[in-house]
């Protein structure tokens, strides 16, 4: 299995939580903010459940590792990330003739069709099933972005057990039980100890692969925006007047050896144009963005990067100095 197990395990669990939560009724609830249905009570009537259940569905979707919906006042809205995840699910179900964007959620046969496409991903409450799916993906030739080490067409139960044991303390029977769930759902087929993927299983691996990549990228962005500014000696970094580090940090240096701090800034051609700070108010930000638009034009593309600055140093461009006045 791939290295960095603890990081991979966290990503697998997070991706699993998202897929486990997207039961047919929760999917209907997720699409609710964009539908013609006006109230949660009306949706509850369609789904044959209580308004409280609909409310709980929305709360669950808003608290996932990547929220599908977010509360805006008394209403809920689908998040940009949520739209992407729903689109990924729709791509998977469309392979089997089920269009999530045109489902009649009042039709039991339509709901059953959705459930069949995703089963057993949303029918198990244990994360173990996703470690099993991850192992199958790593050992098959389907998941091209899975850090494949094997790419074998022959999958064996014993190999899946060995893989999962690297992540969780489990018995062979527990892994076999999850494999049986995939077999019952029609995602795999058994031939003695060997496992064969079906078309459904291949599509589920592709879906899981995409969700994994999405969760990993979301985690990276979250870390970039929450990591505290670091302090460093300029002499320890470089004496260059301006260079870009391998980490992507833009460094403005003057050869001094005083302490420097990292701050996010909007840059043009790696030149910091608008440095952001935790004390900046919305009014200040709006004012500086307005000036920046006048200086550079509304069509100018800005890159958000980490910049290194000393206490005695401001950004080198005259346009940026205007923003600091």
C-alpha 118/C-alpha 19 separation (Å) is 9
Do 39 and 108 lie in one domain? The reply is yes
Do 99 and 185 lie in one domain? The reply is no
pLDDT confidence of residue 233: 42
Q: How far is CA 280 from CA 36, 182, 276, in A?
A: 40, 52, 7
Token reading at 274 = 């608008």
Do 215 and 242 lie in one domain? The reply is no
Tell me, yes or no, whether 80 lies in a domain: yes
pLDDT confidence of residue 218: 85
User: What CATH code is carried by the domain that includes residue 175?
Assistant: 1.10.10.10
Token reading at 298 = 């509304």
Last residue of a domain, one of 86, 118, 150: 118
Do 32 and 107 lie in one domain? The reply is yes
> Is the whole model's pTM more than 0.85, yes or no?
no
pLDDT confidence of residue 59: 93
Do 162 and 211 lie in one domain? The reply is yes
Question: What does each of the 325 residues of the chain score in pLDDT, given as a tens digit?
Answer: 444 466 688 999 999 999 999 999 999 899 888 777 778 888 888 888 898 999 999 999 999 999 999 988 878 899 999 999 999 999 999 999 999 998 888 889 999 999 999 999 998 888 999 999 999 988 886 655 454 444 445 789 999 999 999 888 899 999 999 999 999 999 999 988 899 999 999 999 999 999 999 899 888 887 776 655 544 443 343 333 333 333 344 444 444 444 556 678 777 766 777 788 777 777 777 778 777 777 766 666 777 777 765 544 454 434 444 444 4
Tell me, yes or no, whether 174 lies in a domain: yes
Q: Which DSSP category does 310 fall into?
A: E
CB 306 within 8 A of CB 264: yes
Token reading at 205 = 């691996």
pLDDT confidence of residue 262: 67
User: Which residues form the domain of 146?
Assistant: 128-224
CB 19 within 8 A of CB 208: yes
Tell me, yes or no, whether 8 lies in a domain: no
Tell me, yes or no, whether 13 lies in a domain: no
C-alpha 65/C-alpha 79 separation (Å) is 13
H helical segments located in the chain:
5-21, 24-31, 40-47, 51-62, 80-94, 108-118, 128-139, 157-165, 172-184, 199-226, 282-296, 318-324
Do 194 and 173 lie in one domain? The reply is yes
Do 110 and 147 lie in one domain? The reply is no
Cis check: omega of the bond before 120, within 30 degrees of 0: yes
pLDDT confidence of residue 149: 44
pLDDT confidence of residue 212: 92
Torsion angle, CA of 40/46/51/53, rounded to 10 degrees? -110
Last residue of a domain, one of 190, 206, 224: 224
Tell me, yes or no, whether 10 lies in a domain: no
Q: What are phi and psi of 249, to 5 degrees?
A: -80, 130
Let me know the angle formed at the C-alpha of 276 by 275 and 281, rounded to the nearest 5 degrees.
130
| Domains of the chain: total | 3
Q: Which DSSP category does 233 fall into?
A: E
Tell me, yes or no, whether 31 lies in a domain: yes
């Amino acid at each position: 299995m791939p290295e960095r197990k603890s990081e991979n395990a966290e990503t697998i669990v997070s991706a699993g939580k998202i897929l486990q939560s997207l039961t047919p009724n929760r999917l209907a609830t997720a699409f609710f903010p964009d539908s013609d249905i006006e109230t949660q009570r009306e949706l509850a009537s369609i789904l044959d459940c209580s308004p409280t259940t609909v409310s709980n569905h929305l709360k669950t979707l808003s608290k996932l590792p990547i929220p599908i919906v977010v509360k805006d006042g008394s209403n809920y809205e689908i998040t940009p990330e949520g739209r992407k995840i729903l689109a990924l699910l729709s791509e998977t179900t469309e392979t089997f003739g089920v269009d999530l964007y045109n489902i009649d959620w009042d039709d039991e046969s339509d709901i059953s069709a959705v459930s069949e496409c995703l089963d057993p991903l949303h029918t198990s409450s244990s994360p173990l099933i996703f470690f099993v799916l991850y192992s199958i993906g790593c050992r098959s030739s389907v998941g091209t972005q899975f850090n494949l080490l094997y790419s074998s067409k022959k999958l064996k139960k014993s190999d899946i057990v060995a893989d999962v044991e690297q992540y969780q303390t489990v018995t062979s029977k527990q892994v076999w039980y999850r494999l049986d769930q995939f077999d019952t759902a029609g995602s795999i087929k058994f031939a003695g100890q060997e496992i064969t993927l079906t078309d459904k299983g291949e599509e589920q691996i592709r879906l899981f692969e995409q969700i994994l990549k999405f969760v990993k990228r979301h985690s990276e962005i979250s870390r970039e925006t929450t990591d505290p500014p670091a302090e460093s000696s300029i002499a320890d970094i470089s004496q260059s007047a301006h260079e870009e580090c391998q980490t992507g940090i833009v460094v403005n240096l003057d050869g001094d050896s005083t302490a420097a701090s990292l701050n996010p800034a909007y840059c043009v051609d790696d030149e910091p144009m608008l440095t952001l700070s935790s004390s900046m108010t919305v009014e200040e930000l709006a004012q500086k963005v307005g000036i920046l638009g006048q200086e550079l034009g509304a069509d100018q593309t800005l890159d958000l990067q980490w910049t290194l600055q000393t206490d005695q140093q401001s950004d080198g461009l005259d346009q940026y100095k205007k923003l600091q006045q």
